[in-house]
Structure 1
Amino acid sequence: MSQAKQTFESAFHRLEEILEIMNSDTVTLDDSLKLYEEADNLIRFCSKKLNDAETKVEMLMKNREGDLLIGQDKKPLTQDFPSGND
């Protein structure tokens, strides 16, 4: 799947599949290297998606005057996304 159409969820699912395959005793060294490279690309993709989402949440947390809400640790306040399992 091209990264333009790939979602965070599909990339994460593929990472889980790769982990399963690599933990099996049947994978060859060459296949392990290919899977490791694919996983590295997926991890970078997921990391970027998470960072982008965090930035959007920070922007949404601005107060009415347009100032970013800052926590005691001097970092922008963020809000967790509600999970679909609650």
Structure 2
Amino acid sequence: MAKKKESYETMMERLEKIVEVMDSNEVTLEGTMVNYEEGVKLCNDLYKILNDTEGKIKILTDEGEKDFTPHEE
């Protein structure tokens, strides 16, 4: 069964919890490895989301591909 797609914010919260657990020094070596592997996977998924979003922002510009910059006043 396919996993329900998680939001960027939910994945960031999970990653932050993993970092907190690993920083606490209250986890076994095996637990650290499991957390590390999950953290790397989350980082890769988050990076993909950011790259996809950046691509959508570039595509949506009227003047062709250009970087998104905040509207200056």
Same fold (TM > 0.5): yes
**Structure 2 residue matching 1:77: 3-state secondary structure:** coil
Query: What is the percentage of aligned positions where both structures have the same residue?
Result: 34
Asked which structure has the greater RCO (Cα within 8 Å, sep 6+), the reply is 2
Unaligned runs of 5+ residues in structure 1 are 70-75, 81-86
TM-score by length of 2: 0.83
Listed as ranges, the matches of 1:1-86 within 5 Å are 2=3, 4-63=4-63, 68-69=64-65, 76-79=66-69
What's the offset of the Cα at 1:60?
Answer: 1.3
The count of residues paired between Structure 1 and Structure 2 equals 68
- Which 4+ residue blocks in structure 1 deviate beyond 2 angstroms? none
Point out the structure with the larger helix share: 2
The one-character-per-residue Cα deviations of 1:18-45 (angstroms, maximum 9, x if unpaired) are 0000000211100000000000100000
State the superposition RMSD in angstroms.
Answer: 1.4
